[in-house]
Amino acid sequence: MSVTIREIAEKTGVSITAISQILNGKGERFSETTKNRVLKAAKDMAYKPNFFAKNMITNHTNTIGMVVPEVTDAFFSQMVKGAEDYLNRHDYMIMLCNSSNDKEREDRYVEELLHRAVDGLIIASPNILASEVFERLQEKKKPYILLDRQRNEQKEGRIAVDDFEGGYMATKHLHKLGHTKIGIIISDNSFYNVFERYEGYLACMKEAGITVSKDWIVSGNQTMQGGFLAGEKLLESGVTAVFATNDLMAVGLYRFLFDKGVKIPEDLSVIGFDDIELSEFMVPPLTTVRQPIYEIGAVAAEFLLRKIAYPEEKMNNRLLDLTLIERGSTTKI
Tell the smallest beta-carbon distance from residue 150 to a second copy (Å): 25
Q: Does 325 bind a second copy (CB under 8 A)?
A: no
Residue 307 gets the label, from left (phi > 0), alpha (psi -120 to 50) or beta, of alpha
Residue span binding a second copy (CB under 8 A) among the ranges 10-18, 134-142, 234-242, 249-257:
249-257
Partner residues linked to 94 by β-bridges: 64
DSSP 245-295: SSHHHHHHHHHHHHHTT--TTTT-EEEEEE--GGGGGSSSPPEEEE--HHH
Q: Does 147 bind a second copy (CB under 8 A)?
A: no
Tell the smallest beta-carbon distance from residue 239 to a second copy (Å): 20
Which one, of 80, 133, 124, lies nearest residue 101 by Cα? Answer: 124
**77 vs 150, beta carbon nearer a second copy:** 77
Q: Which of 17, 72, 138, 317 binds a second copy (CB under 8 A)?
A: 72
Coil vs helix vs strand at 197: helix
Q: Does 252 bind a second copy (CB under 8 A)?
A: yes
Q: Does 90 bind a second copy (CB under 8 A)?
A: no
Q: Classify residue 333 as exposed, middle or buried by CB count within 10 Å of its CB (0-12, 13-18, 19+).
A: middle
- The interface with a second copy within residues 263-292 (CB under 8 A) comprises 277-278, 280-285
Which one, of 166, 241, 249, lies nearest residue 201 by Cα? Answer: 166
Q: Which of 39, 95, 203, 212 binds a second copy (CB under 8 A)?
A: 95
Q: Which of 19, 38, 42, 74 binds a second copy (CB under 8 A)?
A: 74
Residues contacting 61, CB < 8 A, separation 6+: 55, 117, 118, 119
User: Which residues here bind a second copy, judged by CB under 8 A?
Assistant: 51-52, 63, 71-72, 74, 77-78, 80-81, 84, 88, 93-98, 100, 105, 108-109, 111-112, 115-116, 224, 228, 251-252, 254-255, 258, 277-278, 280-285
